[in-house]
Amino acid sequence: MATTEGWNIPEDLIVNEILIRLPVKSLLRFRCVCKAWRSAISNRDLIKSHRQHSQSKVHLLHGGSHSVPPGAGGGFINIERLNEEGKSEYYYRLPSTQKYGILNSSHDLVALINKDGYMLSNPAMQDLVYLPRPPSWGVGVGGFLVTGFGLVSSHGKYKVVNIRCNNDTEDICEVFTVGIDNSWRKGKSPPSPLCPHDHTPYVDGNLHMVSLESKGSWNVMAILQFNLEKEAWSVMALPDETKYIRWDVKLREIQGLLSFTCCNLEKSIEIWMLRDYANKVWSKDFVIDITPSGGGRNLGIVFFVFPLEVMTDGRILLQMSGPEWFYFDPRDGRSQLADQKDFSATAIYAENLVPVLGF
């Protein structure tokens, strides 16, 4: 049997080249090897380096309604993931006696929402934290909610943002710093009206949301940025040719970049990527023909379609406006259905060592 006896492996090599590449499950076991390993694996710098490295390998998680087995005292939410072969497999089970919906804006956590508040979980760490119901939920009727969350690296803490968009009054913005706040704080309201969002991607320290303003006979779109550290708003322009479009649109984080997708019903999907965040340089990376002659008939595409992730082999994983996913290969225009489950909510997750309460 090989032995390391007599070897002199530099500690920084173990940390920087080995530990940051290991799955969280292994690292949690290795913390029990000795005090030195426990200290190294719990170190803030290793946690940050491991998190950064893991962003390149993401999992598509999906989960549905809770179920309560006959005779059991409680229920659960089953979280599954899509593996490399495109098959769904068990990943994590969240305890629950109520129905939750999955939210997604950061790859670090799985966030769920129901009428009583939020539930945040880092599945790899078996970590679970409940947040209270925001005060604005009891204000008025109508409107919609926009939610986002992300890790503020400088503080080592997660922040959750809840925006109550009202029809006739000013939108209400509330912020909760997990592990510090006991209640929601009132933040600055967005500078222009928001569109309904199912995803609020967190990229480069900012949450991103689509706003829509009426200017004459046109609806002009832009992206609002909310900086989680400063809790301040700013505006980002969209590519000129997309400002006045009347298609359905979505924002996503894909391969660590902000992505803007335009879906022209039953015609095409345009996927724009913000390749240079600092200089706001957009690139139209993909145009997918979804007409019958372009493959739409075979896919059965009759609703909106949006990308979830670009896979390592170049295929694009897309979701229809229902619980259906398929892979599209831009090299030959072919598509392949992924394993289907009766789940309507999805999240992109990258395993990490960050506790929900922060570090």
pLDDT exceeds cutoff 60 at 294: no
pLDDT of the residue at 69: 47
pTM, full prediction: 0.86
Average pLDDT, the chain: 81
Q: Which CATH code fits 59-349?
A: 2.120.10.30
Rg, C-alpha atoms of the chain: 22
- Estimate to the nearest angstrom the gap between the alpha carbon of 289 and the chain centroid: 26
Could you give the maximum distance between any two Cα atoms of the chain, in Å?
Answer: 78
The CB density around residue 287, as the number of other CB atoms within 10 Å, is 11
155 by DSSP, 3-state: which? Answer: coil
Would you state the structure tokens that stand for residue 288, as one six-digit string? 């997918």
pLDDT exceeds cutoff 50 at 299: no
pLDDT of the residue at 269: 82
- Of 64, 149, 147, which Cα lies nearest the Cα of 100? 64
Where do the domains of the chain lie? 11-54, 59-349
pLDDT band at 122 (very low <50, low <70, confident <90, very high): very high
d(CA 341, CA 88): 8
Please indicate whether residue 120 or residue 338 has the higher confidence score (pLDDT).
120
pLDDT in tens, 207-232: 999 987 766 656 678 899 999 999 99
pLDDT in tens, 31-40: 888 888 888 8
pLDDT of the residue at 321: 62
pLDDT in tens, 146-169: 999 999 988 899 999 999 988 677
d(CA 78, CA 81): 10
Any idea how long the chain is? Answer: 359
Q: State the number of CA atoms in the 13 A half-sphere of 71 facing the CB.
A: 0
